[in-house]
Structure 1
Amino acid sequence: MAPVLLFVTASPASAHPTLLTTTPAAGYSVASTPSAITMVFDESVSVAPHGVRVEDGSGHAVATSNVGLEQGGRRVVVKTLGVLPAGRYVVQWEVTAQDGDVVAADFDFAVGTTAVELSGAESGSSAGFPLIALLRWLFVLSLIALLGGAVGERIVHRAAPAATRPRSLVRFSGAVGSLAAASLLLYVVVATGGFGRAGILLAVEAAVLAVPAVLGQRMRRGMVATTALVLIPVEALRNHLGSQHGVSGVLVVAIHLVALSVWLGALFHLLRVARANVGGVPVRRAFAAYSRLALALFVVVAVSGAVGAFMVVPSLGAITGTAYGRTLLAKVALVAAVVVLAWRARRRLLSATASSFTRVVRAEIVVLVVVLAASAALVSLPSPAPATADLGYPTPAVGPVIRLGGLAGQIAVGIAAGENRLEVRLHTPDGDTATNDAKPPVFHLAAKLSGRGEAVVLQPCGRGCFVGPVAWTTGLEHIELRVDATGWHGGIVSFPIRWAPQLSRDALLRVRKVMLAQKAFRVVESITSDTSGPTPAAQSVTIDGPEFIDSDPYAGPPDPDVVVEPRPGGHQLLTFGLPAEGIHVELEVDASYRIVRETLADPNHLATRTFKYAR
């Protein structure tokens, strides 16, 4: 009996009744208030009338009925007695097992806080992407014309005061910018059904730009520049960096926008002045003064752009593996072209005719305008970096799902690969990712498709939850996850994904039937709680079928969907998960459904077992 006790106590999932399923599904969102909260265990349990407590995100108790038991004590039910507002809820439960042990744990779900729908590898971008990018481009051009034009006019006033001035663009720029901001605001309201943070910022931008649109030339140069400088931090708040990195992100974007606006806007204004003075007052001194300023502006643009790219793009793989990264590379190449043109323009300023000089300047302006188009596209594309705020709990995946699990160092990793999406659940051994009163660890997660070399953009969707779009290719590929968490050892774990999966609803029933009939057999088992350390020595135990089945979390129905993959020699690989407990199981069975190998991962351990049967 001692070997049996050793096996049972070593099993990470056998020390308490296993929570097989919950309604609502643990860690997911439902659209409206559930009429009841149910839990199904793998064995009969007893529970006190108030043994289940539901709390909202602030820790306040939610009104529920007394606990009821169904299905011979395996199903625990409490009814909700009111409407649950949108938000996160924690279900704390305490049951008594058949052997008298008291087991307490919790799970969470959400109401009405679903994540965005995911439909493809780049589906985070808006369906109206070309229109949005165009409107953002027009808006930024208006800022450049206002701020850069004011700076350019100051340069002309000092270096060539007698030069003829071209027609003012203040009214036109204000009108275009205000119309672009108002159009973006309308798009946000229609798409989301409300204003939100982005809508408020756009409303401010449209209102501020309406001032130069109305006043036009009556605004002094300082007032025009002040208007643009007021708008730039507002626009920075709408940028990826501003929304993801707070004050530091806003500061980087604001500095970048100011430098870029003066660089392009002042140059454009000087070119218009030169055109208005062909054959008249020379403006070469104004261009010379600008060229000295342009060098400093380029340094600021380059440094702030590099810092911003480092903050937004999480890895080198995301540069070539996402539309955002590829657009960023195109922008860098265009800026390099601008530098070459600026260098040629300065040389011609010193030695050539005015006509050849202005041709190079016009080319520089054209390329800078294209740079702005790339910038507008970057703001409209989904960022590769995870957002700082959760998207909200995801709805359960629709269609077939591949559930796999493992350990990355000390951190338990569970994945659910569904149609066009990847969901990752992370747990630390102390369980802080699920409780309402514990401070959860800060997770860092990077994912890539190792075969394609593409980064996968994952965003938070709850405590220890990350979700993102992935367009799986038919056949076998691997998803590689690099995981870290404050206070715990992390690591790298890779999972094979063979799409599309084949599901079986009776595979576990067959396994149980065959294993229950087995006489004594030997199990060689290795259990670890940290894959970053040495592999623990394997232990060998002899056990019979009924004792083994009773010790594992799939001892009885209801059975989850099982993914079946053929293996050589008539073997099959069965994989499934029990999300409510954070358990993932991989079974290799022979042609008769006897288990040959088992890998079981839970939030605390990774157990690997091989089975030896008497011939």
Structure 2
Amino acid sequence: MTHITGRWVRSVLALSVTLSLSWLSSAAAHAFLVNTLPRAGARFTEAPQELALQFSEAVSPRSAQVKVRALQGGPLEVRELHPGADAQNLLATLPPLKPDVYVVSWQVMADDGHLSSGEFAFGVGAGGAIPGVQDNVDGVPLLWVTGSALLLVGLALALGGWISERFVWRKQGVPRAWIGVGAVLAVLGSAVHLVALAGSGPRATSVILTSRPGVAAGLALLAFLVSACLTRGRFRGWAGLPMVGGALAVTWQGHLGNAETFWLTPLGLAHLLLAAVWVGALVHFGQVTWVRRNVAWSDALRRGAWRYAKLAAWSVPPLLLLGLLLAWSQVDAPGDLWTTRYGQLLLAKVTLVLAALGLAVLARSRLVPARTAQPLRLARLVLAEVGTLLVILVLSAGLVNATPPRALTAANILSAAPPIGPAVRAADQAGSLSVYVLAAEGDLRVEVVQPTGKPGDRTRLWVNGEAPGGAFTLPLRSCGRGCFHAPFGWKPGETTVRVKATDPEWPGGTAEVKLRWPPGPDQTAQLAQVVKAMKHAGTFDVTEQAPRSLDPTPHTFPLTAETLAATDVYVGGGAEDVREVGRDAQGYTVLSLFVPGSSLWYELHVDGHRRIRRERIVGPGYGVNRTIEYPQLLEDGSP
């Protein structure tokens, strides 16, 4: 029995590790909004007449819901919602729009049956602040999780129990496996998925009857129902066959059934079947050991334990290989483990897997001395492990409905949304890359722009610094094209932020900025006074230096107010986050501002006559320091 016990324990250990990777691969695809017309956050002088939405995956037009409302009014009628050039695009006709800010709310069902929703805004005319892009793709829908949990647990109990009855215990007078209970749970899980699909849009019947998720959920329900009926009579030995068909329908219903790579579907099916067989067989083994807990080891129990160990040993290699093959690329960065719902569920699951490992080690230490006595300790440990693994299945149901971090990163290709609430910015260069750091309530955002003006989509960042509360290091997540952010609790005072940036196309480096919190009042009116004063400044001398350019030598040249207006973009309007950030050593007022359309950040040092004495400019691929000298001023401030 020592040999049998050792094999059984090794199988349990290996499969417990495997479960930490299980079901990662079947994480559901969500339809991300990747492009819009009108563009999110844009402002138009003429009202757009058409609405176009582009998603990362094919969506069902019948289930789509798009609503438009005015911030200063009520909902508007959206007419003729129909597919665009392909299944990833939706088009609609907008009614005539008056000057206002308009919010577009959308909800779509991806081709795998999972819902995504969100909203964005655009403006017509000059008034009103435009809200940012919001979506719920990082959420975990409770109804879908409930259905998936019932399906996974039911499939494991039914299919694994059926395999255990027929091939492990072989009618040796042991308790029957819970095949019927598992089949009923699987039926309920499929029914819950159908209910979720029915609530996905106004044409629920059409969605269920014509979409792949609806047809697959219906076929799965039928297969599991047939299996449940077979368990009640003399055809119990055939109950597992419809279960395999139901598992195929479940795989086809999910993301792997919609995979562009054809071999992912059979691999996903094999992965699901192997995991279900092992968990269900372990549950049945727990039933047997618990019923026989007060009986000494018998030859029948030894033979059953040996066959179970053999089944587990044969299941380990393919299950482990498939788990690694299908799951290795789901997490984009270590920080995603605690900053995303997917990562948090994964951490909880791994914690339980470690608990299962502990139970397996404990079982090994107690199995050997208990093998000649009553197997009560073994029964208790096996049941504890069964309970742990069933909880892991429930967490797996959350994982298959959560969006993997890499999917979030890949699909967030909208430009960064405007910050919510007051914000202050600073900028610097990191090699050839321009780095813009934004401080908003509870959030630190970094945007990267290449010298070409394009966002740094493939840039990698590392952020650390010193705050009034001490040093910090932050893991970042994507918030749009070339945009990265992390939750951050700003403390009153000055915070130094260092950003190390690397990019496969451009030389990187380290940028360092200083941000003062909290942001002061908006100083757009003061900036307007500066612009007015500079327009009457006449001719002045400018000393300009680009410290990180090929020619860092300072150059001095005369400049007129008209020329300055042509080079300083904010003179024409459009500046955001205009803040007073302090005073310099000469007592000049320091203003910080950002022009988003041109990715230009300015730091202006303004004297008592509202004239710029120094300015720092960071734009795509360059950083410039300027010092301005004026002719002798008269007492009234005029030259």
- The CA deviation at 1:483 is 5.7
CA separation in 1, counterparts of 2:608 and 2:287? Answer: 82
1:116 partner SS: strand
- The CA deviation at 1:523 is 1.6
Kindly indicate whether residue 528 of structure 2 is the aligned counterpart of residue 509 of structure 1: yes
CA separation in 2, counterparts of 1:472 and 1:583? Answer: 26
User: Compared with structure 1, are the counterparts of its residues 372 and 202 closer, same or farther at alpha carbon in structure 2 (3 Å cutoff)?
Assistant: farther
Amino acid at match of 1:502: P
Amino acid at match of 2:255: L
Residue of structure 2 aligned with 1:520, choices 536, 540, 556? 540
1:415–1:425 contact (8 Å) kept in structure 2:
yes
Aligned position for 1:294:
312
CA separation in 2, counterparts of 1:444 and 1:360? Answer: 49
Aligned position for 1:210:
222
User: Compared with structure 1, are the counterparts of its residues 562 and 390 closer, same or farther at alpha carbon in structure 2 (3 Å cutoff)?
Assistant: closer
2:149–2:394 contact (8 Å) kept in structure 1:
yes
Alignment TM-score, normalising by the size of structure 1: 0.66
Residues 366-445 of structure 1 correspond to what in structure 2 (within 5 A)?
Answer: 366-387=387-408, 388-390=410-412, 399-400=421-422, 402=424, 407-412=429-434, 427-430=449-452, 443-444=458-459
- The CA deviation at 1:337 is 2.4
1:312–1:383 contact (8 Å) kept in structure 2:
yes
CA separation in 2, counterparts of 1:215 and 1:540? Answer: 84
CA separation in 2, counterparts of 1:167 and 1:204? Answer: 30
CA separation in 2, counterparts of 1:459 and 1:206? Answer: 37
User: Compared with structure 1, are the counterparts of its residues 592 and 313 closer, same or farther at alpha carbon in structure 2 (3 Å cutoff)?
Assistant: farther
Aligned position for 2:477:
457
Amino acid at match of 2:543: V
Amino acid at match of 1:164: G
- The CA deviation at 1:285 is 1.8
- The CA deviation at 1:374 is 2.8
Kindly indicate whether residue 163 of structure 2 is the aligned counterpart of residue 151 of structure 1: yes
1:315 partner SS: coil
CA separation in 2, counterparts of 1:425 and 1:572? Answer: 26
Kindly indicate whether residue 598 of structure 2 is the aligned counterpart of residue 598 of structure 1: no
Aligned position for 1:62:
none
User: Compared with structure 1, are the counterparts of its residues 343 and 232 closer, same or farther at alpha carbon in structure 2 (3 Å cutoff)?
Assistant: farther
Residues 323-342 of structure 1 correspond to what in structure 2 (within 5 A)?
Answer: 323-342=341-360
Residue of structure 2 aligned with 1:178, choices 187, 208, 219? 187
Kindly indicate whether residue 165 of structure 2 is the aligned counterpart of residue 161 of structure 1: no
Aligned position for 1:365:
386
For structure 1, which segment, 246-255 or 205-214, has the greater mean C-alpha deviation from structure 2 after superposition? 246-255
1:188–1:194 contact (8 Å) kept in structure 2:
no
1:113–1:393 contact (8 Å) kept in structure 2:
no
Amino acid at match of 1:173: G
- The CA deviation at 1:315 is 1.8
Residue of structure 2 aligned with 1:589, choices 603, 606, 609? 606
- The CA deviation at 1:365 is 0.7
For structure 1, which segment, 204-213 or 304-313, has the greater mean C-alpha deviation from structure 2 after superposition? 304-313
User: Compared with structure 1, are the counterparts of its residues 275 and 251 closer, same or farther at alpha carbon in structure 2 (3 Å cutoff)?
Assistant: same
Amino acid at match of 2:357: V
Aligned position for 1:116:
118
User: Compared with structure 1, are the counterparts of its residues 185 and 293 closer, same or farther at alpha carbon in structure 2 (3 Å cutoff)?
Assistant: same
User: Compared with structure 1, are the counterparts of its residues 147 and 88 closer, same or farther at alpha carbon in structure 2 (3 Å cutoff)?
Assistant: closer
Aligned position for 2:553:
538
Amino acid at match of 1:317: G
Kindly indicate whether residue 341 of structure 2 is the aligned counterpart of residue 314 of structure 1: no
Amino acid at match of 1:580: G
2:174–2:288 contact (8 Å) kept in structure 1:
yes
Q: How many residues align?
A: 510
Amino acid at match of 2:167: I
Aligned position for 2:248:
230
Structure 1, unmatched stretches of 5+, are: 1-23, 39-54, 58-81, 90-109, 434-440, 529-533
CA separation in 2, counterparts of 1:302 and 1:579? Answer: 49
Alignment TM-score, normalising by the size of structure 2: 0.63
1:322–1:455 contact (8 Å) kept in structure 2:
no
2:162–2:177 contact (8 Å) kept in structure 1:
no
- The CA deviation at 1:607 is 2.2
1:556 partner SS: helix
- The CA deviation at 1:591 is 5.0
- The CA deviation at 1:526 is 0.3
Per-residue CA deviations over 1:5-24 (Å, capped at 9, x if unaligned) read xxxxxxxxxxxxxxxxxxx9
Structure 2, unmatched stretches of 5+, are: 1-35, 55-78, 92-102, 108-116, 121-131, 466-470, 633-639
Kindly indicate whether residue 358 of structure 2 is the aligned counterpart of residue 345 of structure 1: no
Amino acid at match of 1:507: Q
CA separation in 2, counterparts of 1:554 and 1:34? Answer: 20
Amino acid at match of 1:600: I
Aligned position for 1:609:
625
CA separation in 2, counterparts of 1:415 and 1:251? Answer: 46
CA separation in 2, counterparts of 1:406 and 1:612? Answer: 21
User: Compared with structure 1, are the counterparts of its residues 537 and 561 closer, same or farther at alpha carbon in structure 2 (3 Å cutoff)?
Assistant: closer
Aligned position for 2:303:
285
- The CA deviation at 1:205 is 3.2
Amino acid at match of 1:172: V
Per-residue CA deviations over 1:377-411 (Å, capped at 9, x if unaligned) read 33444533243445767776665455655555444
- The CA deviation at 1:206 is 4.8
CA separation in 2, counterparts of 1:372 and 1:418? Answer: 39
- The CA deviation at 1:358 is 1.4
For structure 1, which segment, 516-525 or 249-258, has the greater mean C-alpha deviation from structure 2 after superposition? 249-258
